[in-house]
């Protein structure tokens, strides 16, 4: 198994993933018309929440403790939404930014786990957790139903991204290509679910039947 994907994937990708999720956190605060400090809090916990839990579970140093740049990312995302929030469609922006971050951060989370010699199956689970947990925290703080409870394809998209990346890495595909393939596949599945209403069949649902 390749053990160096985290070293090959540019660190800027981690910053980008946190930025995207931080923006969704700030947008959630904007939707409920909170103050700027609350914007920053929502942005920060959404941006680093999944990665923090991942690091705690795999026994790695929590990634943002030694790098204050993540705190500044949360502040910048908060300020950007505070300034531009009135000129964007918040609901649409929140959904699509979340979709964009989902695929990328699933890959980043799985890559870090693989780099620490975690079993590939567990690394896949860590990718899913990294991509989804920050959004769960955001929704709980905002008092909104979590996407996990809306029967939307979200966790499945993160699972596709992480699993495809891990599989390609185990097959010795260059990490950059494996990462790009996984992230694009995860985003495409989530985007299709948003645009076309794709969803998995629910327990007890018959073929062709659609429940609210």
What's the pLDDT tens digit per position in 151-178?
667 889 999 999 999 999 999 998 889 9
Q: Is pLDDT above 70 for 42?
A: yes
* Confidence grade of residue 2 (pLDDT, cut at 50, 70, 90): very low
Q: How many residues does the chain have?
A: 212
Tokens 């790695």 sit on residue: 60
Q: How confident is the model at residue 130 (pLDDT cuts 50, 70, 90)?
A: very high
The span from the first CA to the last CA of the chain, in angstroms, equals: 44
Sign for the CA dihedral angle at 35, 100, 68, 79 comes to negative
Interatomic CA distance for residues 107 and 105, integer angstroms: 5
The structural domains of the chain, with segments of one domain joined by +, span 5-196
What is the overall mean pLDDT for the chain?
A: 84
Residue 168 contacts residue 138 (beta carbons within 8 Å): no
Q: What value does the mean pLDDT take over residues 86-90? A: 59
State residue 1's pLDDT score: 44
Q: Give the percent of the chain with pLDDT over 90.
A: 44
- What's residue 7's pLDDT? 41
Which range has the worst mean pLDDT, 63-77, 85-99, 105-119?
85-99
């Amino acid at each position: 198994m390749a053990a160096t994907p985290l070293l090959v994937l540019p660190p800027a990708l981690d910053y980008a993933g946190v930025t995207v999720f931080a923006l969704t956190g700030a947008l959630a605060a904007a939707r409920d018309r909170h103050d700027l400090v609350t914007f920053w809090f929502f942005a920060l916990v959404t941006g680093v929440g999944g990665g923090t839990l991942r690091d705690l579970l795999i026994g790695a140093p929590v990634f943002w403790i030694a790098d204050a740049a993540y705190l500044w990312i949360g502040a910048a995302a908060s300020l950007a939404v505070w300034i531009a929030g009135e000129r964007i469609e918040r609901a649409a922006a929140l959904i699509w930014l979340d979709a964009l971050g989902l695929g990328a951060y699933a890959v980043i989370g799985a890559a870090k786990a693989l780099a620490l010699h975690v079993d590939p199956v567990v690394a896949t689970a860590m990718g899913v957790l990294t991509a989804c947990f920050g959004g769960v925290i955001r929704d709980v703080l905002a008092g909104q139903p979590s996407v996990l409870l809306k029967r939307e394809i979200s966790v499945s998209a993160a699972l596709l991204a992480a699993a495809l990346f891990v599989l390609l890495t185990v097959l010795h595909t260059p990490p950059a290509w494996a990462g790009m393939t996984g992230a694009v596949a995860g985003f495409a599945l989530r985007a299709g679910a948003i645009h076309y209403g794709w969803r998995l069949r629910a327990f007890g649902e018959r073929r062709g039947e659609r429940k609210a």
